[in-house]
Amino acid sequence: MIYGHDPRTGETVGAALPETDSAGVDLIVSAAAAAGAAWRATPAAERAAALESVADALAAHVDELWQLADQETALGEVRLRGEVARTAGQFRLFAEVIRDGGHLEAIIDHADPSTTPPRPDVRRMKHALQGVVAVFAASNFPFAFSVAGGDTASALAAGCPVVVKAHPGHPNTSERVAKLVREALPYPDLLGLVQGMRAGVDLVQHPGVVAAGFTGSVAGGKAIQRLIDEREVPIPFYGELGSVNPVVVLPSASAKEVATGFAASLTLGVGQFCTNPGLMFVPDDDELRNAIVEAVEGTSGGPMLAERIRDGYLGGVERLGELRLLAEGKPGEGSWAVTPKVFTADLDTFAEKLPGIGEECFGPTSIVVTYREISDLRPVLGRLEGSLTATVHSAEPDEAAEVAEVLAKKAGRLIWNGWPTGVAICWAMHHGGPWPAATTSYTSVGATAIGRWLAPTAYQDWPEALLPDELKDANPLSVPRRVDGRLEV
Amino acid sequence: MIYGHDPRTGETVGAALPETDSAGVDLIVSAAAAAGAAWRATPAAERAAALESVADALAAHVDELWQLADQETALGEVRLRGEVARTAGQFRLFAEVIRDGGHLEAIIDHADPSTTPPRPDVRRMKHALQGVVAVFAASNFPFAFSVAGGDTASALAAGCPVVVKAHPGHPNTSERVAKLVREALPYPDLLGLVQGMRAGVDLVQHPGVVAAGFTGSVAGGKAIQRLIDEREVPIPFYGELGSVNPVVVLPSASAKEVATGFAASLTLGVGQFCTNPGLMFVPDDDELRNAIVEAVEGTSGGPMLAERIRDGYLGGVERLGELRLLAEGKPGEGSWAVTPKVFTADLDTFAEKLPGIGEECFGPTSIVVTYREISDLRPVLGRLEGSLTATVHSAEPDEAAEVAEVLAKKAGRLIWNGWPTGVAICWAMHHGGPWPAATTSYTSVGATAIGRWLAPTAYQDWPEALLPDELKDANPLSVPRRVDGRLEV
């Protein structure tokens, strides 16, 4: 059986939930596949309305949901209410995306008898993948990257059924959310939920599964990739793995703003963000250093999401102990509580310890690396692993040009005078980056995330009666298209 | 040393070419990477002009090129002249693509202070991958899928340098084409060429390589994937592997047109096309059967591209011998010549032998499967492997609806009353399909093939001075963009 646990006490909370056995996984995937055939044939406008019903259901149950999740995650009311709103917002964004239709990338090339050989009529658009999407829920977002998270919203929007492997950190929240979503969908089996590690293995190796999404550790992502490699038919694996999220503070930046912003971003949600600023390069300057020390000492720790995650943090902090401790926050309260800790090193010392020292330690810890000259940064930044984000603090773009150029090779999102935690849900967002930040060049947040669950079909001289509406000459659904080389909106 | 061979005689032709050793591969990849940095920074309009220079150089040397390739492939003047023109056309299409800029998928979401939390300004576009693209040339297209083939054209267009592993079937043609392309590019090292199997291993495992393209067999593709799996940093693998290309002839189709079209498509280029029609379902009808026998008996074989490919064909045909031989063409002339052979079975017999009997046999052979009722086809079509194409012959779209629905799950391109050989070079083409036709949902032919070599970056509150021109408010390069949710062209 699987139990939720209260990070504040370490005690079990909620009901005992059975692990899903192999027969159960098979039933759930098969039911999802059957529902998926109807869903796929449902017009985009109706699918969009259904996504909005899911959003409404989540928003209507926020009082219940945040309390349930708080028992299992200790993330607190403000954060969890906000996260439910964000999660609903993701469904609304994808409703907008599929009403627009641009994600289908419809293209029409009319026949051209003047070429050698004569060109036939060729039309192309994307369709939902033919099968079930497996989603592995993350620990750190019990709503936004879990049962009704971004992967689920984007896959449902694309037209795919979804089976989620619940994260063991919040099994009761997962069950409740699944029930709400199933009730809001026209075909409840479009969303399945499985519990337990073994069920995750069965899920990703099930022949009815055609793609997998994952948010978690590098080790976890590699394990899933190995399971996929054992499949007879390979499937795409969209993993968001580790990220250290370097921040570069340039001399013109405001010391005070940097220090307070850094301490807040570092300790938000007990540092349990994929975009936590785990590494910050600062000028070798006493004022800034003192401001950072003061700001970090003003923070407090808290309970982490799971005992295993707490242990991972303690191990990581011990590893960072080979550097000098610069500052620490107040200890958090609760069974699985940890203390924010910031370490420091000069640029040469840090560079000597690469690549190991540059790996993510999940939780409220960071390394502040001091440098003398901006030009010294380039070779060191060039040796960092890929990250989801890279941030520059500066009052002068000219000063930042060289650093920006190197960071652009290292991260999927570049941030100016801000902090990486907090990912806006919008069309332009990219939440991904070079390995190990992500396993592919796709984003897992924002409108273009839907592309992961789509594949194109070309139709050659295909009769109008059998063409999808999106590719008929009259364009009855008014989707954006490229016709004979020209975009039409 | 590596030698080219004349398929008509089996004798070596051209110069003895050294295999590229590990140090050589490293030098070539490093030189490509260095040239790539400058290329990446070159404005799209200049890159487009350079691609057109390559096209011009290929077209200007067609007399020399077809003769050189004919010595090594025996594909003949008409086909090879056409293929050089097609190869030049691919460079011209990608010049058009990057002048347009739609492939960058530029998106701007202006800041929205009214949201909770306030949304920052987020802008996103795609950029060339940061490193070298490895291309594994195919045997069967010495120009269009080789050194200056589609993968090379699309990767150069994206802004990536390319190192090609030459196919041993046409090493001298490869060297000559590489020299022409290098001379036409502003930085010659943007295209590198390596020879030999060991060089291919070194290439795909080189840390400077960030993606690989491949056209070849399922076994070859799996071998490259295993080499990639051994890398410290994984890279995307865009493979186009096996495809049997089912054709379904419905009762209303014209027997005569089907028979002559089938025989021509089957034997074009000695059947050495990824899109060769390897499987055709026909009504159990004597008139059609007799027409097919007559048409196939009117064809002739010819020498295959390589001894190993000829041996593979003979082995495959032996395997198909468990079915009944329906018709064969005239034997071809030359050392590595083979004879077109068409086998037949009824639907039940064929279905019993699935999945093995449904695998591709590369060369001029096909299975004609007879059926009684259209409704009998559905379960059997549903068990076929993925293919690049699926074709329907019918005079009545209504009659084809059910078959079309099943085939749409099995192939990347659906063809009506045509033949799968011959792939139009245009915006809408999709040359891919479910495994094993392709390893990803990307195409390797047509405008959207450029997407394989691109990855997005998001810019959050990034200063105008440091933004790429494509994302500046004034849109100085006039690229298509989605601004605050609306497409603007």
ipTM of the complex: 0.97
Residue reference for tokens 């994206």: B158
Token duo for residue B476: 């100085």
Q: What are phi and psi of A29, to 5 degrees?
A: -65, -40
* Helix or strand holding residue B70 (H, E): helix B62-73
Q: Is residue A93 a contact partner of residue A425, using CB atoms and an 8 Å limit?
A: yes
Residue (of A267, A274, A223, A268) closest to A445 by Cα position: A274
Contact A178, A132 (CB under 8 A): no
Closest-CA distance of chain A to residue B325, Å: 31
What residue ranges define each of the domains in chain B, with the CATH number in brackets? 2-241+441-453 (3.40.605.10), 246-416 (3.40.309.10)
- In chain A the first and final C-alpha atoms are separated, in Å, by 53
A240 is catalytic: yes
Q: Closest chain B residue to A123 measured between Cα atoms? A: B428
User: For residues A329 and B176, what is the distance between their CA atoms, to the nearest angstrom?
Assistant: 66
Output the tens digit of pLDDT for each of chain B's 489 residues.
Answer: 999 999 999 999 999 999 999 999 999 999 999 999 999 999 999 999 999 999 999 999 999 999 999 999 999 999 999 999 999 999 999 999 999 999 999 999 999 999 878 999 999 999 999 999 999 999 999 999 999 999 999 999 999 999 999 999 999 999 999 999 999 999 999 999 999 999 999 999 999 999 999 999 999 999 999 999 999 999 999 999 999 999 999 999 999 999 999 999 999 999 999 999 999 999 999 999 999 999 999 999 999 999 999 999 999 999 999 999 999 999 999 999 999 999 999 999 999 999 999 999 999 999 999 999 999 999 999 999 999 999 999 999 999 999 999 999 999 999 999 999 999 999 999 999 999 999 999 999 999 999 999 999 999 999 999 999 999 999 999 999 999 999 998
**Nearest CA of chain A to the CA of B10: how many Å?**
32
Q: Give me the torsion for CA of B383, B384, B387, B393, rounded to 10°.
A: -100
The pLDDT tens digits of the residues spanning A185-209 come to 999 999 999 999 999 999 999 999 9
For residue B175, give the amino acid letter: E
Q: Which residue in the set A120, A229, A411 is minimally distant from B424, CB to CB? A: A120
Single-letter code of the amino acid located at A164: V
List the single best residue of A430, A435, A488 to mutate versus B (max B Cβ within 10 A).
A430
In sequence order, the 6+-apart residues with CB closer than 8 A to the CB of B341 are: B317, B320, B325, B327, B328, B329, B364, B365
In A, which residues are within 8 Å of B459 by CB distance?
413-414, 416
Among B129, B457, B464, B487, the strongest candidate for a mutation testing the A interface, having the largest count of A CBs within 10 A, is B457
Summarised one tens digit per residue, pLDDT across range A218-246 is 999 999 999 999 999 999 999 999 999 99
Sign of CA dihedral A110, A115, A119, A124: negative
Please list, in sequence order, all residues whose beta carbon lies within 8 angstroms of the beta carbon of residue A22, skipping any fewer than 6 positions away.
A198, A202
> Does residue B24 contact residue B194 with C-beta atoms inside 8 Å?
yes
Q: How far apart are CA A174 and CA A146, in angstroms?
A: 7
Roughly what angle, to the nearest 10 degrees, separates helices A44-60 and A62-73? 70
Which residues are registered as beta bridge partners of B281? B248, B369
pLDDT at residue A103, rounded to an integer: 98
H, E, C per residue of chain A: CEEEECCCCCCEEEEEECCCCHHHHHHHHHHHHHHHHHHHCCCHHHHHHHHHHHHHHHHHCHHHHHHHHHHHHCCCHHHHHHHHHHHHHHHHHHHHHHHHCHHHCEEEECCECCCCCCECCEEEEEEECCCEEEEECCCCCCCCCCCCCHHHHHHHHHCCCEEEECCCCCHHHHHHHHHHHHHHCCCHHHEEEECCHHHHHHHHCCCCEEEEEEECCHHHHHHHHHHHHCCCCCCCEEEECCCCCEEEECCCCCHHHHHHHHHHHHHHHHHCCCCCCCEEEEECCHHHHHHHHHHHHCCECEECCCHHHHHHHHHHHHHHCCCEEEEECECCCCCCEECCEEEEEEHHHHHHCCCHHHCCCCCCEEEEEEECCHHHHHHHHCCCCCEEEEEEECCCHHHHHHHHHHHCCCEEEEEECCCCCCCCCCCCCCCCCCCCCECCCCCCCCHHHHHHHEEEEEEECCCHHHCCHHHCCCCCCCCCEEECCEEEC
d(CA A6, CA A15): 13
Is residue A393 a contact partner of residue A420, using CB atoms and an 8 Å limit? no
Chain A partners of B446 at a C-beta cutoff of 8 Å? 124, 458
Place of tokens 């570049």: A414
**Contacts (Cβ under 8 Å, ≥6 apart) of A361:** A278, A312, A313, A316, A317, A319, A320
Q: Which of A83, A175, A274, A328 is catalytic?
A: A274
Task: Give the number of residues written for chain A.
Answer: 489
Residue B114: count other Cβ atoms within 10 Å of its Cβ.
7
Q: Do B485 and A100 touch (CB under 8 A)?
A: yes
B466 and A435: CB-CB below 8 Å? no
| pLDDT at residue number B115 | 85
> Using the beta-carbon criterion (under 8 Å), do A102 and B487 form an inter-chain contact?
yes
Residues A341, A366: Cα–Cα separation, whole Å: 7
Query: For B399, which residue in chain A has the nearest alpha carbon?
Result: A466
Residue length of chain B: 489
